[in-house]
Amino acid sequence: MAVRATASRFPIDSDALEASGLPWGLTVTPFASKDETGIGPAYGSNGHLLPRCENCYAYFNTYCELDQWAWTCSLCGTLNGLSSDAIARYSYPHDSIPETSSSFVDLELPLDGSEEEMTQARPVYVAAIDLSSSEEFLELTKSALLAALEALSPGSLFGLATFSHKIGLYDVQGPIPVVKNVFIPPDAESKLPLELEDAMPLLQFLAPVETCKDRIAAALETLRPITSWERSSGAAQGIDGVLMGGRGFGTAMEALFNYLGSEFGNTFALARVFAFMSGPPDYGRGQLDTSRYGEQYASKRVDADRALLPEQTPFYKDLATIAVQSGVCVDVFAVTNEYTDLASLKFLSIESGGSLFLYSSTDDSTLPQDMFRMLNRPYAFNCVLRLRTSTEFKPLHSYGHFFPDPQYENLQHIICCDSYATYAYDFEFANNTGFSRHSREPPVVQIAFQYTVVVPTEGLQNSELPSSSRGKHVLQKRLRIRTMQFETAQNINEIYDSVDHEVVLSLLVHKVILVSLEDGVREGRALLHDWLVILTAQYNDAYNLVQYKNGNKSMSSQIDITFSQCPQLEPLPRLVFALLRNPLLRFHEEGVHPDYRIYLQCLFSVLEPSSLHCGIYPSLTSYSTPDKQAYPRHSLSRAALLTSDSPIFFLDAYTTLIVFYTSTADPSLPFPPPQDCLLRKNINMVKQGRSITPKLMFIRGGKDDATAFENYLIEEQDVDGSGFASAKGFVSFLDDISQSVAEYMK
């Protein structure tokens, strides 16, 4: 569990917080195996016996004072008695007990009755493939699923389904694959005429991976796109014989979840559905009206950046609830450049704990690699995340792909999460007092993360397991607790000096995404601009940089816009500028596809702070040869490139990696860089540490089209995207901020 705060020294009270102009909060990556400094937890068992405070329910931790009979809670100060068992336990040397040796513990929990009965908690995977598609799409999907089959552990069950104007269920357990079809009613109200269970019993549909791998592959080979002839005979004919479409995605998903739900808690504890789509649902239940995209261009009176962001129907949000109730997590893979309205579809994946992937074409899609990567890493499910603080402050908002508990405040449920998934909180003071200036009690945050994993029995050291359990899986429930103590800042400079700009960026990104979803992109941009103005004003005020009585100089010329007195704040103006230039916040008129914007919103709201930094302000390094690095960091400006005499540049924009050879590079330098060179080694390292597979491009300046690379050189671009020629980019952005700061300070 990695935790990073916006500043390691907390503001002393709400006045100090307001005066700082900074957000106050933290990010947490609960299933990360290490903490933010690379140290793992102390492992143990019997998490349910860990003492809890009778006042605030915090768990006992290393910051609590422990006496022979009692302990004092480090969060609320309550004196709690110890049970006789605990007294006996804590009388042993302390370093052998996880909770007294480390503030980061991971303890096994006993399973409750119904979970214990799940002796065969088999991982279940179902692929649902869009046949209302093309040969290219199906080829890509096949190679992704063949990669997936290699990554699935023995004992897993796999089901293959297709959808179009009908649902196809494959039985691959017999000598030859058999498919059963159920036709989908075309209208948005009717349900399926037949339950899937009646078409094919579920346990016939779910095949053991280790024995059926070849037949699953054979069944994949038989997949063909639905022809228009087939569609017109099966699907509804519209007025004048126009085809009404044939992608019955909503009905198919609904039926599939109900189908799987019957074995939830019996065969499986979590089933994952991979939905492969080549366009918007346009048939049956949950069909989407994609003409709203076209209408944006026709009508100039509507703010496109606002109109296309909300969902057009609650259908997929409701469907996600059905998925969760059926123990299903949905990963959506959209391979299309057509408007698919991910704004409506996204809820299906993010609320069920899945991921949303968007690939604009089948040609350069990293889908098979993403699939393999996703299945090869461990994931936790049925998770509960709870953040507790000492009494002086409390969480205000929580951000990320979880859903709040209907009953308890500050309790979040996460259906499924991997070691990358990151969440954020911001804080407010509980009252006007704040932290006492002379108190010896420092601010404390405790994060408890309860989760379940499926483990193959081979990996267990338990000799009591019967030999019949080989190749089987068992559930393991665990409780991970991290307790952190912070310091308070005696003055504003101490806050500024302890800022982590990447965490500040994370909170800002969450806030602007929320604002743009509610009030449009324009409002999101305005919020960001105003935030930087206020921060700059507060900083200049704190350092007394502006002499109000100076009559000769204009005020704005005195303003320190670059935060030259504080290295921790220095990166922020550049990050805000880059965020305004990011497709996340660029205007519709600049050609940002609404589905791509939604995809970025979903991606950016789960990234840990350093990855997000890379996605917003890509890192640019240079090399003098493929084996020798020249500079570790360049600003994203054409001028920086021209003044540097390095021939090779490497840009990492999180989703894209670009190797760029300048037009003046020595022609004897090998292109593309050879496999065993330092640059390749660095590229592979970057690729391995990433939650998604970045797209890798090689570009030779002067020979290839360099637009893809040049678009990332944002510092000369106009912040509003209104033009290149007249604009001075980052410099004029700073001038503008400086003017606004001067007005604000008056």
Least CB distance from residue 449 to Zn ion, whole Å?
19
Q: What is the C-alpha separation between 524 and 320, in angstroms, rounded?
A: 27
Pick between residue 27 and residue 389 the one whose CB is nearest to Zn ion: 389
Least CB distance from residue 489 to Zn ion, whole Å?
24
Residue located via tokens 């993360």: 449
Q: What is the C-alpha separation between 32 and 26, in angstroms, rounded?
A: 15
Contacts with Zn ion, residue ranges (CB under 5 A):
53, 55-56, 58, 73, 75-76, 78
Helix or strand (DSSP H, E) at 182: strand 178-183
Nearest to 98 by CA among 486, 483, 485: 483
Least CB distance from residue 441 to Zn ion, whole Å?
12
Contact 216, 160 (CB under 8 A): yes
Distance spanning both ends of the chain, measured CA to CA? 45
Pick between residue 58 and residue 737 the one whose CB is nearest to Zn ion: 58
Least CB distance from residue 389 to Zn ion, whole Å?
11
Per residue, the 3-state secondary structure of 275-286, as one string, reads EEECCCCCCCCC
Pick between residue 73 and residue 585 the one whose CB is nearest to Zn ion: 73
Pick between residue 60 and residue 733 the one whose CB is nearest to Zn ion: 60
Least CB distance from residue 481 to Zn ion, whole Å?
14
Pick between residue 267 and residue 483 the one whose CB is nearest to Zn ion: 483
Pick between residue 376 and residue 431 the one whose CB is nearest to Zn ion: 431
Pick between residue 56 and residue 696 the one whose CB is nearest to Zn ion: 56
Residue 255 tokens, joined: 């039926």
Contact 35, 3 (CB under 8 A): yes
Pick between residue 78 and residue 232 the one whose CB is nearest to Zn ion: 78
Task: Report the side by side order of strands in the sheet with 423-429.
Answer: 2-5, 25-29, 423-429, 393-399
Taking each helix axis as running N to C, give the angle between helix 572-581 and helix 501-519, from 0 to 180 degrees, rounded to the nearest 10. Answer: 30
Nearest to 496 by CA among 35, 27, 24: 24
Residue located via tokens 């020798």: 628
Contact 14, 429 (CB under 8 A): yes
Q: Burial level of 665, CB count in 10 A (0-12/13-18/19+)? A: middle
CB neighbours of residue 437 within 10 Å: 9
**SS3 category, 152:** coil
Pick between residue 76 and residue 374 the one whose CB is nearest to Zn ion: 76
How many residues in total does the chain contain? 746
Q: DSSP class of residue 481?
A: E
Pick between residue 259 and residue 427 the one whose CB is nearest to Zn ion: 427
Least CB distance from residue 63 to Zn ion, whole Å?
11
CA 47 to chain centre: 28
Residues in CB range of 652: below 8 A, 6 or more apart: 614, 618, 619, 620, 686, 694
AA letter at 178: V
Contact 31, 419 (CB under 8 A): yes
Least CB distance from residue 10 to Zn ion, whole Å?
19
Pick between residue 53 and residue 699 the one whose CB is nearest to Zn ion: 53
Residue located via tokens 């996340």: 584
Q: What is the C-alpha separation between 478 and 43, in angstroms, rounded?
A: 10
- Write phi, then psi, for 349 (nearest 5 degrees): -85, -50
Nearest to 169 by CA among 181, 185, 157, 183: 181
Least CB distance from residue 65 to Zn ion, whole Å?
12
Pick between residue 58 and residue 537 the one whose CB is nearest to Zn ion: 58
Least CB distance from residue 387 to Zn ion, whole Å?
14
AA letter at 454: V
Least CB distance from residue 64 to Zn ion, whole Å?
9
Contact 260, 202 (CB under 8 A): yes
Least CB distance from residue 52 to Zn ion, whole Å?
8
Pick between residue 375 and residue 444 the one whose CB is nearest to Zn ion: 444
Pick between residue 441 and residue 627 the one whose CB is nearest to Zn ion: 441
Q: What is the C-alpha separation between 149 and 131, in angstroms, rounded?
A: 20
Least CB distance from residue 77 to Zn ion, whole Å?
7
Least CB distance from residue 98 to Zn ion, whole Å?
20
Contact 678, 626 (CB under 8 A): yes
Pick between residue 231 and residue 388 the one whose CB is nearest to Zn ion: 388
Q: Burial level of 587, CB count in 10 A (0-12/13-18/19+)? A: middle
Torsion of CA 281, 283, 288, 292, to 10 degrees: 110
